[in-house]
Structures are given as structure tokens and as C-alpha cells.
Amino acid sequence: MSYAWDFNFLWALGPLLLGGLINTGKLWAIAFSSGLAIGLAFGIMRTVPSRILRGIGMVYVEAIRNTPGLILLIWFYYALPILVGVQSSAWLAACVALSLYTGAYSAEIYRAGIASVEAGQWEAARAIGLSYAHQMRYIVLPQAVMRMIPAFGNRAIELAKATTLASTLAFGELLFTAKVIAEDQFRPLETFTAVSVIFTAVLLPLSYACIWLERRVARSGGIVRD
């Protein structure tokens, strides 16, 4: 039971771990920004009058949300060469899968946010002659966006967790790097403990920030959750 902890070797391998962390960060940044954009398109799609567009939006959201993320990732890894004819890579598959994954969840946040703006706002905007796009762009979204921010924060946290899925395709993000180090050094305990601590150290403050934001938004009226 008296295991001799030794973190010294990790300091030596710090640059390696840092490299993994940077890869995690890149993947996160790309998937989050494109996920927000995809989500906006599909989220709006789910609120428009056209039934066909609403249907497409729903199929996308339901398909992604009811499939385990890992299966999405592996699927795109094998499907990308066939569907678009590009050379597949873990990086590309992870970017596409995680963007679509975040897109589906943020679509729901946008939809709920848009739905939370009262009908009178739409009517008032229509009454002054704004087009549908302008009603959305200048009247509805600006009001809804504040209420969505905490939910997007939670999405950012979940996405950060999901980036570790890419390690199953041997993409060199933080967890995969750690696994390599652990096997190389025969020190799994210290290595995985360090990774675990890094994630919680980053995500816990973020999570508290979201809770704080949520309270603020709730106090100023109307919460949006994903």
C-alpha cells in the first residue's frame, strides 16, 4: 500500500505533455468555433416556418445526440475518404466529428434561446417592416444571446472532455501523450493522476464561472439550458 510517488520524471517530460495539451487546445478551438457556427445554422433552421427545414434540423440534432461520440469519431475516420475523397487522418476525423457533435448540442441552445424571446418582439419587428432575416439578426438574436452564454460555457466544458476521444485514434492530444509516457516510463499512476488534475484544474474554474453567469442571467430574467 505504501507506493513511492515520484513526479520528477514528469517535469523532465513536461514539454511532451505540453505538446499534448496544445494539441488538445487546437482541437478544442476548431471544434468549438465551427460547432457554434454549425449550431447557429441548424438552430435557426429549427425555428423557421418551413416544415422541411425544421425536419432536416431535427434529424441532424437527433442523429448526433443519440449516437455515442466515439462511434461518430470512428465513423468519420473511415467515411471521410469515401464521402469526400480526402486522405483520412485522426486530426481531420476528430475536427469534423467534434464540430458536428458540438453543433448539434449548440443548435438546441440557439433554438431554446430564440424560443425564449417573446412573440411580441417578433411582431414589433415585423410591424416596423423588417425582413425575417433582419428580425432574427437585429431584434431576436441580440436578446437571446445573453441568456445562451452559460449554456455555451457548459458546452465548451463538455467539448474539452470530448477531445480525449481522439486519443482512441492515436491523435497526440493530452491523454494519448500521457498514455505513451505512462507505458514508456512504467509510471501510470503519476502520469494519469497528473492528467486528471490538469483537466479538473482547468474545467472546475470554468464550471464555476458558468454557474455564476447562470445566476446572473437568471436574475436578469430567463434561463436557457441545453
Residues in the site for another protein, rule: CB under 8 A?
1, 3, 62-63, 66-72, 74-75, 78-79, 82, 157, 160-161, 164-165, 167-168, 175, 178-179, 182, 188-189, 191-193, 195-196, 199-200, 203-204, 207
The Cα–Cα gap between 21 and 223 comes to 33
What is the H or E stretch that residue 177 is in? helix 174-185
What is the H or E stretch that residue 3 is in? none
At 78 the three-state DSSP class reads helix
The Cα–Cα gap between 20 and 160 comes to 13
Whether residue 104 contacts residue 39, with contact meaning beta carbons closer than 8 Å, is answered with yes
**Least distance from another protein to the Cβ atom of residue 150, Å:** 15
**Least distance from another protein to the Cβ atom of residue 6, Å:** 12
Residue closer to another protein, measured from CB, 70 or 218: 70
Residue closer to another protein, measured from CB, 48 or 70: 70
**Least distance from another protein to the Cβ atom of residue 120, Å:** 26
**Least distance from another protein to the Cβ atom of residue 98, Å:** 14
The Cα–Cα gap between 148 and 141 comes to 10
Residue closer to another protein, measured from CB, 12 or 83: 83
Residue closer to another protein, measured from CB, 25 or 145: 25
The Cα–Cα gap between 34 and 57 comes to 17
